[in-house]
Amino acid sequence: MPEGISHITLIVRDLSRMKTLIETVLGGIEVYRSEKATFSLSREIFFLIDDIWVAVMEGDPGSERTYNHIAFKISDADLPKYLSKINAFGLEVRESRSRVKGEGRSIYFYDYDNHLFELHTGTLEERLILYGKKLNMQNPQ
């Protein structure tokens, strides 16, 4: 069984622009920049967002938008602060899906390369309780 998520990699057209977005909106900290040396497929920058390793690589991200997304946990009180930061970048905010009362609130937004991010205030445990299920690590349903 995997121990957890190792890292998330996003392909982007402009590394500098994505760096600014990750640092300003998501509070990421740059920990590596390849410059001209490419140990992987292309130039890249590594960030830590809390303890999550996020890599951004230069390339063609494609043009299709989907609901595939990465969700980061935030507090409910911080929702307006994050929305303000996202709006300051002129990023497109996607309408949130319909919700069951109590499962948390979300902001969905696209970056410059059609990646969808979610900033979510709820937890898995809260959602399972609302859906009438228990969090059971021995026998997941």
Would strands 93-94 and 106-110 be described as parallel, antiparallel, or unpaired?
antiparallel
Which of 39, 56, 37 is CA-nearest to residue 48?
56
The sheet carrying 52-58 orders its strands as 8-12, 52-58, 44-49, 29-33
Determine the Cα–Cα distance for residues 42 and 81; give it in Å rounded to an integer: 34
Catalytic residues: 44
CA 45 to the chain's CA centroid: 16
Interacting residues of 28 by C-beta distance below 8 A, sequence separation 6+: 22, 47, 48, 49, 54
Please check whether residue 38 is in contact with residue 58, taking contact to mean a CB–CB distance below 8 angstroms.
Answer: no
